[in-house]
Amino acid sequence: MSYLVLARKSRPQTFDQVVGQRSVVKTLQNSLIRNRVAHAILFSGVRGVGKTTLARLMAKAINCQETESTRPCDKCISCREIAAGASLDLHEIDGASNRGIQEIRELKEKIRFLPTSSPYKIIIIDEVHMLTTEAFNALLKTLEEPPGHVYFMFATTEIHKIPVTILSRCQQYELKRISAEELYDHFDKLTKSEGFEIEPAALSLIVREAGGSVRDGLSLLDQMFSFGEKTIATQDVIEVLGLVDREVLMQLTRGLLDQKHTDVLQALQQIFDYGLDIKRFLVDLMGHFRSLLLCKIDGCTNLIELPAEELVEFQKLAEKYSPETLHQKLNLLMTTAEKIRHSNQPRLTLETSFLSIIEAGNVADVSMLLGKLDEVLQGLPDQTITSASEPASIPAPAITPTKSESTKESLPKIACENTHLENPPTDTSEPPPSEKTTISSVENTENTPSIAIKPHAKDVRKDWLDFIAYVKNRKVWMAQDLQRADTIKQEKEELHLTYSDPANCAVLRQQINQKLLAEFTLDFFQKPLKVCFIVPEVDDSSEGSNTELSPHRKRQELANDPLVIMTAEVFNGQVGDIRVGPNSR
């Protein structure tokens, strides 16, 4: 393969030349200086991050004839032999093709003998996770008591497939993906040393495509070098590698967020014109939304693999949208990617899906919306307050604003304002409304009591079970107590709850809970109902002395004890078995 040319040419021969992995390199160098190199070392990480490179460097360093601090020198006989692949004491085994017990037995046979020309024998097993269980078992014995003249270096992309018994006998190094900056610098130097010029944006693209892997990036660079132009332009990279232009991606990202239908469809047209790989393009676009979302989460910018200047641009863009919006769009894009996989008409699927994503609008923070709603309600006359608190008018977490003006007018004013809380108007000539102007526009609704909300009448008799479910979602214990009522009846403006056993509603009748119940009733039935409890007359003399209560009554009281209820709520549980009586203590 052609890329091996560059990958081989640029393979690090000393620790200084390693790209990234500074902390691992430092630790390894220290172990060499202190002469405390472990006899089995395992390097794990994704492909192209330097696992075998570090294993080979360690092999060189262990056998290097120079002083500890300068190992590997890359000059002594041992170093040169290893670099040339001619060392008799370095055995490199590919775990994928030598995975059986027989190969391990042969290996064990080899290490029984002392090294020929170097102080130590080094065994490198690449993709070590591919070994069979029997092979691992055979290896285990050797790892338990490694001969003094042997060092093992393992490399794997799938550390979870390696038995714990093996892992526990290795010193482990987890190699991270190489950062965009490190890759950029490395590729920049390499390009110049190869006699090529590259536009910074073109190099950024290659770095992005490399995804933290040196080898992947080198293979892309190789492709560009063989393209023939001495100066590598961004457009060439896009064409040769079949990438989506970053500008087109940005246009799409903004279009989807700002609900610009034309921009989105035009950008898609360009993508189809280039004949680009749709799945690949969607992955790139999802990557954009992921980066934007991470910008909104505190302490997560380090997870975004972008050059510094691009990161700033993303952070600026992310400021305009809520994390909920970005999360929602990313989810929808993931669904789109799934749809595309099974679609016979990718273009149509993509266009319709993207239009749906635009239609899905943006999500505003619920607490902020409720805050705005409160502001509005405070200024409204009583009657309107009642209707405005109709559940249907309370914006649901995912608000779906609409594009057409006509629908906007038919919606409650409150919901309409929400669509603009964070979303700039479609017309770009207008600056996006700031928080302040939005608030004032919401406050303006005070003067427009034209809030057209159709109260959805609920009936106590018909909707009682729904009401209990509604309460249950808010206060589990209250729903249980309501269920214990013997009869429920509406008498004009009053709701009569009859309890044959007063203990069943003792907690409900506490003032604070009555108030809460009244609020639930108002919210649910959309009318102020006075809640009245009808309980049998209680003989005061029997009250207060627990000892005279029947076990049943005692259980009821205990079940309704505020402390018990609170405990059940804290643990999100329910009161199960209650034992009373002298034996229960």
Binding site for Zn ion (CB under 5 A): 64, 66, 72-73, 76, 79
Which of 70/441 has CB closer to Zn ion? 70
Q: What is the DSSP letter of 126?
A: E
Q: What is the smallest separation between the CB atom of 29 and Zn ion, expressed in angstroms?
A: 14
290 touches 318 (CB < 8 A): no
Rounded Cα distance, 219 and 216, in Å: 5
Provide the 3-class DSSP secondary structure of residue 118: coil
Which H or E element spans position 207?
Answer: helix 200-210
Q: Which two tokens stand for residue 264?
A: 């989105």
Which of 62/210 has CB closer to Zn ion? 62
Q: What is the smallest separation between the CB atom of 304 and Zn ion, expressed in angstroms?
A: 40
Q: What is the smallest separation between the CB atom of 63 and Zn ion, expressed in angstroms?
A: 8
205 touches 212 (CB < 8 A): no
Which of 76/355 has CB closer to Zn ion? 76
Which of 67/448 has CB closer to Zn ion? 67
Q: What is the DSSP letter of 116?
A: S
Which of 64/257 has CB closer to Zn ion? 64
Q: What is the smallest separation between the CB atom of 79 and Zn ion, expressed in angstroms?
A: 3
**Strands, E assignment, 106-245:** 121-126, 150-156, 171-174, 197-198, 231-232
Q: What is the smallest separation between the CB atom of 57 and Zn ion, expressed in angstroms?
A: 11
How far is residue 198 CA from its own chain's centroid? 34
Rounded Cα distance, 516 and 513, in Å: 5
Q: What is the smallest separation between the CB atom of 73 and Zn ion, expressed in angstroms?
A: 4
Rounded Cα distance, 69 and 136, in Å: 34
Rounded Cα distance, 220 and 203, in Å: 10
Contacts of 60 (CB under 8 A, 6+ apart): 13, 71, 72, 74, 78, 79, 82, 83
Rounded Cα distance, 320 and 316, in Å: 8
Which of 73/366 has CB closer to Zn ion? 73
Q: What is the smallest separation between the CB atom of 90 and Zn ion, expressed in angstroms?
A: 13
Which of 25/360 has CB closer to Zn ion? 25
Q: What is the smallest separation between the CB atom of 69 and Zn ion, expressed in angstroms?
A: 12
Longest dimension (CA), the chain: 105
- Give all strands of the β-sheet with 150-156 in edge-to-edge order: 90-94, 121-126, 150-156, 40-44, 171-174
Q: What is the smallest separation between the CB atom of 68 and Zn ion, expressed in angstroms?
A: 11
Which of 46/73 has CB closer to Zn ion? 73
Which of 80/320 has CB closer to Zn ion? 80
Rounded Cα distance, 90 and 52, in Å: 13
